[in-house]
Amino acid sequence: MATGSGYGKTILIGDQFVLRGVPAIVSALPYETEAAVELIDGEGWVLEDNRLEVPGYKAKKQAQQVESINHILEVMKIDVQKTPIKITYGGSLLAGSGVGSSAASCVSLARALNNAFDLGLSIEEINHVGWEGELAYHGIPSGIDNTASTYGGLLVYRVMDGEKSFEQIEVERPFRIVLANSGVTADTSALNGFVLGLKKEDPDLFAKRCRAITEQSLAMREALERYDLDTVGSLMTANHSILIDMGLSHERLIELCDRAQAMGALGAKLTGGGRGGYMLALTPREDVQETVASTFESERIPVIRAIIGAAR
């Protein structure tokens, strides 16, 4: 049996606009999806998905998952009719919209297949296979999720003139966050069309908002590098206001963000594509993190506590 893993992620800013040239800041989460691949008798592939999930997530994503796995096998030139396999997913990352669940499954599978068939792929090639697997989930993925899943750390990621690039962001010390799930599973591929519709509806307003988010993202990077978390939190909240105005948030996400800030979070916003999935709250102090997380958990809201910004 061969194994592989991929990190989850959370995006601090720039979520939906990376393909429009806006720089985004993303962090890997200290939680992973793990894939195991073993040779079996028969033909084709079978899947055992043991990931913990937000209720209904795996069923809603099942067709996309099958398409993704088939495409990964095709890209990696693995003929499962000749060499049938069983794929088993597990790990510590909760499967749900907004935390890079699909990317983590793609990257972990790419690594497990690379090990199982001794393909000798580089980390750059693993990242590319992860991007290929994301096509089924996102239409045209920006590459931000699979890059965070593959490399880990805190990154600034940008796509300019079709060229993808990323850099590590160094911070003084790690800091705490809380992610809480809205219970709404978003269709990420449909979100791309929604954003395109906004651009067609009012190109000037869309361009103005992209410029504003670009300025927020660049300011956030500078704030992170000088460890000014108050400014990071303020920028998160200001960015969420823009996303609300664009119709990319959700009433449940807005409620959770407002409540987290009332409990002491420095800032809060949706994370990921939007219109569902997770919200992200910046809670640097341990007591604030615990207050926010435990309050939501008492209401059966799925929560992820994390410390991000650690060196790889």
Tell me the per-residue pLDDT of 109-151, one tens digit each, with 9 for 90 and over: 999 999 999 999 999 999 999 999 999 998 788 899 999 999 9
Domains 2-168 and 175-308 share a fold: no
The enclosing H or E element of 8 equals strand 2-13
| Mean pLDDT, all residues of the chain | 93
- Asked if 250 and 275 touch (Cβ cutoff 8 Å), the reply is yes
- Asked if 296 and 180 touch (Cβ cutoff 8 Å), the reply is yes
Q: Give Cβ neighbours of residue 228 (< 8 Å, ≥ 6 apart).
A: none
pLDDT of res. 311: 62
What are 28's strand-pairing partners?
Answer: 9
- Asked if 137 and 68 touch (Cβ cutoff 8 Å), the reply is yes
CA atoms within 13 A on the CB side of 128: 7
- Fold exhibited by the domain 175-308: Alpha-Beta Plaits (3.30.70)
Range from 27-36, 225-234, 269-278 carrying the lowest mean pLDDT: 269-278
Q: Give Cβ neighbours of residue 60 (< 8 Å, ≥ 6 apart).
A: 185
Tell me: pLDDT of 186 over 70: no
CA atoms within 13 A on the CB side of 10: 29
Instruction: Kindly state the average pLDDT of the residues 60-69.
Output: 96
Q: What pLDDT band is residue 190 in, cutting at 50, 70 and 90? A: low
Q: CA–CA separation, 83 vs 62, rounded Å? A: 23
Architecture of domain 2-168: 2-Layer Sandwich (3.30)
Look up residue 61 and give its two tokens. Answer: 């994503």
Q: What pLDDT band is residue 198 in, cutting at 50, 70 and 90? A: confident
Report the predicted TM-score, pTM, of the whole model to 2 decimal places. Answer: 0.89
Pairing of strands 267-271, 278-282: antiparallel
Listed by start position, the domains of the chain span 2-168, 175-308
DSSP letter for each residue of 32-44: EEEEEEEE-SSSS
Q: CA–CA separation, 182 vs 279, rounded Å? A: 7
Q: Angle, nearest 10°, between helix axes 251-262 and 286-298?
A: 140
Locate all alpha helices (DSSP H) within the chain, ordered by sequence: 57-60, 62-75, 101-116, 123-138, 144-151, 188-201, 203-225, 229-245, 251-262, 286-298
pLDDT of res. 188: 64
Tell me: pLDDT of 20 over 90: no
pLDDT of res. 194: 78
Of how many residues is the chain composed? 312
Instruction: Kindly state the average pLDDT of the residues 184-204.
Output: 77
Q: Is 21 helix (H, G, I), strand (E, B) or coil?
A: coil
